[in-house]
Chains A and B, each alone.
Chain A
Amino acid sequence: MRVGPVERILVVAMGNDLLGDDGAAWCAARRLQEQRANHEIDFELSCESPFTLIDLLQDYTRALILDTIVTGNAPVGTVHEFSTADFQKVVAPCVHFAGLPEVLEVVRRLDVVFPSEIGILALEVKPPFEFGQRLSPPVAGALGGFVERARRLLAEWIKESAATEDLATRRERKAVEGGVPT
């Protein structure tokens, strides 16, 4: 990842494209990847247990997690936005349920190099328990909005990164011109 001198951004899509709407985050990530073909952001599609986020996110400075969710409290196609502050409980009883809260607690405790900022966008879907490779019409219709939310967030990060890079470059130049060690 080469957005700035130190900035490394990852987009990770969780889900399973063999389970119908469960693959919506993958579709979104693929569209984003096409749109951002000339930008330096890494993309990962994961159908593994969320605990593997601990491996995927290490060494990045920012990460955007795309996922699907069943809250039952919003229409299918609604885009939910979360932050890591929304996931603080650590209660998973087995590997299959271990997720972001466990990952965050472990990295915090073990001082693992982890993104300082993690954005989370999730698309509301119906429970996807049946195998299939197509998105349902409501989810397919909502995909554009989901991608756009992700695109805007990434654009903000890249802008901030560029500004940080400019500032760092100016400071470095000034230090060199002034003969001050950096």
Chain B
Amino acid sequence: MKTSSKAVKAKSSGKTRRVTIDPITRLEGHGKIDIFLDEAGEVERAYFQIPELRGFEVFSLGRPAEDMPQITSRICGVCPTAHHMASTKTLDDLYKVEPPRAARMIREVVYNAFMFEDHALHFYILGGPDLIVGPEAPAAARNVLGVIEKVGVEIGKRVISTRRRLRELIAYLGGKVIHPVLGLPGGVAKGMAPEDLPKWQEVARDAVDFAQFTLQAFRDLVLKNEEYVELITSDAYTHRTYYMGLVDENNVVNFYDGQLRVVDPNGKQYARFPVRDYLDYVAEHVEPWTYVKFCYLKPMGWNGFEDGEKSGVFSVAPLARLNAAEGMATPLAQEAYEEFYATLGGKPVHHTLANHWARVVEMIYAAERLKDLLDDPEITSQDLRAMPKALPDVGFGVVEAPRGTLFHHYETDTNGILKKVNLIVATQNNAARIAMSVEKAAKGLIHKGKVSDGLLNKVEMAFRAYDPCHACATHSLPGQMPLIGRIHAPTGEVVQEIRK
């Protein structure tokens, strides 16, 4: 079997054997999973590693803070809108200026359109193979083609066209992704022309329909299959951690604004705080085997990769957002939210794979919110900017990115030149729980040294549910991501190799 030596790092030390699942992507060293087996072939430890882009803070220092919405939108090829919005909100705070209501609504229109199209992409195209096609399906079918096979060509076309129209809406208001011009401190650069509104209102109505269809598809294809439900609720994919998410004044989910709410593993509120206080609640832990800094709840302290109330590990992303809130702000999403918890045994839900379902609930909310905003008469107001009047010093901003809470924090001199920058991205917030999920899945599924293609897929599913953000994925090449697993005997000899 052909193997790239770059893809596999196989080592043996003492009586431990090492299995590596290493995605080969354009950039060497992309996320990989190392699984160490003991002499009996049982999993001793599993490590999930994600490389990080380096030097962003140094790169930013000395630049005008106003450049940050453009610069940070290029950090991630998947979430440019999330960074742009978090950065814009940070500038509001930095210059102590509150955008007019219409400007805030325009921002939310763009943001909810982005959340919807990103969730749809993940649910149908990338996450779909796990639950729509099924984890036991042949490897050849466990991909986007298998999803289209299951949902039908017409639905596939609808996914593509819905995404495209929402991206057109984002471009209409925000310009191109590489140079977004929407967000300004205190407002936005462009509003909604009354003559263009009907077109976008129709797009929003279609998005609501499509979101409801998606929920029905989830019911039909996943919830009616007992094996899938068993898998979702299985212990291998369950962790009792804390959960964090943005909520509004009614404690319901809001992607754009509000306060951070944290609930404990029993669903009880542990904290509720404005983003300005984030450093009182979020701290970072360093491990020697990865560049990733693992976020944990600062008041709890770092107590290792552990479940439970005494652990400081928390989670973000769709499931965490639903757990951290008391409901959804829109009626259809609220119905879906109630069905979610009624089916899975009440709050909070600790099953990692339920992220896929939570994503669908959030699609409904994003579409309804988009429709509500576009139906508001004030959406065509041209009162789009409040001019900053205060000297800048420190600014904090937060949004809920598709993959979870995203923090931006800038400090400047009185001319607005950056002196300090700190960003905490969603995958960093989730990193500890992702590592725990991968290890637990590996321990639950790999025994006596036997690692099959199907088992590797199930381990991989543990991190895919979070859709973790890997550093810089903006490339088309080499255009494939085989997973390679190698099992080494205690002597270091390769005894089994699997390539997907």
Q: Are B471 and A129 in contact (CB under 8 A)?
A: yes
Residues of B within 8 A of A69 (CB): 26, 475, 477-478
Q: How far is the CA of A94 from the CA of B122 in the complex (A)?
A: 7
Q: Does B293 sit within 8 A of A, measured CB to CB? A: no
> Which residues does chain B contribute within 8 Å of A17, judged by CB atoms?
74
Chain B residues close to A by CB (< 8 Å) = 6, 23, 25-30, 51-56, 58-59, 71, 74, 77-78, 80, 118, 121-122, 125-127, 143-145, 148, 153, 156-157, 160, 163-164, 167, 177-178, 460, 463-464, 467-483, 500
Known: A47-B74, A131-B59. A93 touches B464 (CB 8 A): yes
Residue in contact with B469 in the complex, picked from A48, A89, A96, CB distance below 8 Å: A96
Instruction: Give the distance in Å from the alpha carbon of A120 to the alpha carbon of B126 in the complex.
Output: 24
Q: Report the minimal beta-carbon distance from A67 to chain B, rounded to whole angstroms.
A: 5
By secondary structure, the A interface counts as mixed
B-contact bits for A132-162, CB 8 A (1 contact / 0 none): 1000000000000000000000000000000
Query: Is the CB–CB distance between A51 and B125 below 8 Å?
Result: yes
Task: Decide: A94 near B126, CB < 8 A? Known: A45-B178, A99-B477.
Answer: yes
- Contact in complex: A93, B153 (CB < 8 Å): no
Interchain nearest-CB distance for B20 vs A (Å): 15
Determine whether the beta carbon of A96 is less than 8 Å from that of B78: yes
For A22, the closest partner residue in chain B by CB is: B472
The answer, yes or no, to whether A176 is at the interface (CB within 8 Å) is no
What residues of chain A lie closer than 8 Å to B157, measured between beta carbons?
Answer: 110-112
Specify which of A45, A87, A97 is in contact with B25 (CB 8 Å cutoff).
A97
Please determine whether B474 and A46 come into contact, CB atoms closer than 8 angstroms: yes
Given A48-B78, A70-B27, A87-B480, also A93-B126 (CB < 8 A): yes
CA distance A52 to B125 in the complex (A): 12
Whether the pair A106, B144 counts as a contact (CB closer than 8 A) is yes
Q: Can you report 21 residue pairs joining A to B where beta carbons are below 8 Å apart?
A: A16-B474, A48-B78, A48-B474, A49-B473, A67-B26, A67-B475, A67-B476, A71-B478, A72-B6, A86-B479, A89-B479, A94-B127, A96-B467, A97-B481, A102-B125, A105-B143, A105-B145, A110-B148, A111-B153, A127-B29, A130-B53
Q: Which A residues are CB-close (under 8 A) to B160?
A: 54, 106, 110, 112
Q: Min CB distance, B355 to chain A, in Å?
A: 12
Q: Are B125 and A90 in contact (CB under 8 A)?
A: no
B26 near A70 with CB under 8 A, answer yes
Partner-B contacts on A (CB < 8 A) = 14-19, 22, 45-55, 58, 65, 67-72, 82, 86-87, 89-102, 105-106, 109-112, 120, 122, 127-132
Given contacts A46-B177, A129-B472, 7 further A-B contacts (CB under 8 A): A16-B77, A45-B178, A69-B477, A82-B477, A106-B148, A129-B54, A130-B53
In contact, A95 and B122 (Cβ under 8 angstroms): yes
Q: Are B473 and A129 in contact (CB under 8 A)?
A: no
Is the Cβ of B53 less than 8 Å from the Cβ of A49?
A: no
Q: What is the distance, in angstroms, from B2's C-beta to the closest C-beta of chain A?
A: 13
What is the distance, in angstroms, from B1's C-beta to the closest C-beta of chain A? 15
- Which residue on chain A has the smallest CB distance to residue B28? A127
Is B143 a contact partner of A90 (Cβ separation < 8 A)?
A: yes
Bound CA–CA A52/B71 (angstroms): 20
B126 to chain A: which residues have CB within 8 Å?
Answer: 92-95, 98
Instruction: Return chain B residues, CB-CB under 8 Å to A102.
Output: 125, 143-144
A110 to B145, CA, bound (A): 10
